Amino acid sequence: MIKCFLTVYLFSSLICHIPGKAQGNSLLWRISGNGLKNPSYLYGTMHLKDSRVFHFADSVMVKFEECEAFAMEVVLSEDVQLQLMKGLLMDSGFVLKKLMGASQYDSIDLYCRKNLGYSISQLDRLKPIYTSVILAQATLTDTSKFAENDLFLDEYFQHVAIASQKSISALETVEQQLAVFDLLSYKQQAELLIETVRNAPNDALDMETLIGLYISNDLERMMKFENDFNLPDSLYNSLFTHRNHQMTDRIDTMIRKRSTFIAVGAGHLGGEEGLVDLLRRRGFSVVPIIPTYNNYLTDGWYRFSSTNNNFTVDLPSYPLTASTMTGDQVAYIYSCVLPNETSAKLIVRVQAKTLDETTGFSRTGSIACLRSIFGENAEVELLNETQNSAGFRFTLNDKSKIIGTLFSNDRKYFIVYCIHRRDVDKTKIQRFINSFKMLS
**384-420 pLDDT tens trace:** 999 899 999 999 888 889 999 999 998 899 999 999 9
In this prediction, residue 224 carries a pLDDT of 66
Answer yes or no: do 106 and 164 share one domain: yes
Domain boundary, last residue among 235, 257, 288: 288
Answer yes or no: do 117 and 257 share one domain: yes
Q: Is residue 143 part of a domain?
A: yes
Answer yes or no: do 284 and 309 share one domain: no
Answer yes or no: do 232 and 329 share one domain: no
Range 116-135 burial, b when 16+ CB lie within 10 A, else e: eeeebeebbebbbbbbbbbb
107-156 tens-digit pLDDT: 999 999 998 899 999 999 999 988 988 887 776 665 555 566 778 899 99
Q: Is residue 109 part of a domain?
A: yes
Domain boundary, last residue among 288, 322, 356: 288
Answer yes or no: do 150 and 270 share one domain: yes
In this prediction, residue 326 carries a pLDDT of 72
Name the nearest CA neighbour of 193 among 402, 429, 3: 3
In this prediction, residue 3 carries a pLDDT of 42
Answer yes or no: do 248 and 317 share one domain: no
Q: Is residue 120 part of a domain?
A: yes
Answer yes or no: do 195 and 68 share one domain: yes
| Contact by Cβ (8 Å): 310, 440 | yes
In this prediction, residue 238 carries a pLDDT of 72
Answer yes or no: do 12 and 145 share one domain: yes
Q: Is residue 69 part of a domain?
A: yes
CATH of the domain at 363: 3.40.1000.10
Cα–Cα distances (Å) from 284 to 45, 50, 69, 80, 274, in that order, read 22, 33, 19, 32, 14
Q: Is residue 201 part of a domain?
A: yes
Answer yes or no: do 116 and 184 share one domain: yes
Answer yes or no: do 339 and 378 share one domain: yes
- pTM for the whole thing? 0.85
In this prediction, residue 436 carries a pLDDT of 98
In this prediction, residue 248 carries a pLDDT of 97
Q: Partners of 287 in the beta sheet?
A: 30
Domain boundary, last residue among 288, 319, 343: 288
Domains contained in the chain, number: 2
Answer yes or no: do 330 and 217 share one domain: no
Q: Partners of 28 in the beta sheet?
A: 43
Q: Is residue 293 part of a domain?
A: no
Query: Which element (helix H / strand E) includes 265?
Result: strand 260-265
Q: Is residue 295 part of a domain?
A: no
In this prediction, residue 260 carries a pLDDT of 98
| Residue segments in the chain with a per-residue pLDDT below the cut of 70 | 1-24, 139-148, 201-204, 223-236, 355-360
Answer yes or no: do 121 and 151 share one domain: yes
Q: Is residue 240 part of a domain?
A: yes
The phi and psi torsions of 93 (rounded to 5 degrees) equal: 100, -10
Q: Write out the residue range of the structural domain in which residue 396 sits.
A: 302-438
